Amino acid sequence: MHLKALTLRGFKSFASATTLRFEPGITCVVGPNGSGKSNVVDALSWVMGEQGAKSLRGGKMEDVIFAGTTGRPPLGRAEVSLTIDNSDGALPIEYAEVTITRIMFRNGGSEYQINGDTCRLLDIQELLSDSGIGREMHVIVGQGQLDSVLHADPMGRRAFIEEAAGVLKHRKRKEKALRKLDAMQANLARVQDLTDELR
């Protein structure tokens, strides 16, 4: 399975339809500062279902829609399509080539498609879930993230590993459960005090 092409239309700085074709092997995107290299990576995570505006380096989700420049008015919608070569059947769908599309309108509405057919976000997440790509798969390493891993103290490094291994969410749930248990113990003690007073 390999990513074949990414098409951006009205996504961030890509006002006009722009298609990047990825040949087998390594693809490098080069360009001056602020020319939109990271926007390409943002488009990749967005089309795969990213729901966090902060992860897309914006304040709100609509920030992915082309906001206009001095010579060009803002657009009303952003659209990104990712074409995946599925000739090895890595994705559980009967197509040798799969195109997933995400569209967002400035009024907040959005749409997802698989090979042109409207679907739910859940369908895209399920399609990608066993493929090793997709959201929360830790396959996109952002600028500065390597630095923070390399410079993390042992506890910080452990947190990265736990997050990658999926342990962090269970640790958080455990902490929440322990807090509830503490509150319950305090309530029990209070009930015990009241019972003692009534005796």
Q: Does 35 bind ligand ATP (CB under 6 A)?
A: yes
Distances (CA, A) of 94 to 48, 85, 90, 113, 114: 19, 12, 10, 16, 12
Q: Does 135 bind ligand ATP (CB under 6 A)?
A: no
Q: How far is the CB of 33 from ligand ATP (least distance, A)?
A: 4
Instruction: Specify the DSSP class assigned to residue 12.
Output: T
Q: Of 60 and 169, which CB lies nearer to ligand ATP in the complex structure?
A: 60
Q: Does 38 bind ligand ATP (CB under 6 A)?
A: yes
Would you say 13 and 19 are in contact if contact means Cβ atoms under 8 Å apart? no
Q: Does 144 bind ligand ATP (CB under 6 A)?
A: no
Q: Of 24 and 109, which CB lies nearer to ligand ATP in the complex structure?
A: 109
Give the containing element (helix H, strand E) for 195: helix 168-198
Among 17, 51, 63, 73, binds ligand ATP (CB under 6 A): 63
Q: Which residues contact 8 (CB under 8 A, 6 or more apart)?
A: 14, 17, 18, 19, 39, 40, 43, 78, 79, 80
Q: Which stretch binds ligand ATP (CB under 6 A): 1-9, 63-71, 174-182, 186-194?
A: 63-71
Helix pair 154-165, 168-198: axis angle to 10 deg:
100
Q: Which stretch binds ligand ATP (CB under 6 A): 35-43, 84-92, 133-141, 190-198?
A: 35-43
Distances (CA, A) of 65 to 13, 59, 72, 158, 162: 8, 12, 13, 37, 34
Q: Does 55 bind ligand ATP (CB under 6 A)?
A: no
Among 3, 5, 22, 36, binds ligand ATP (CB under 6 A): 36
Q: Does 175 bind ligand ATP (CB under 6 A)?
A: no
Site string (67-106) toward ligand ATP, x via CB under 6 A: x---------------------------------------
Q: Does 31 bind ligand ATP (CB under 6 A)?
A: yes
Cα–Cα dist 115/93, whole Å: 11
Distances (CA, A) of 73 to 11, 15, 66, 100, 103: 14, 10, 9, 27, 19
The count of chain residues that interact with ligand ATP, using the rule CB under 6 A, is 14
Return residues touching ligand ATP (CB under 6 A): 12-13, 31, 33-39, 63, 65-67
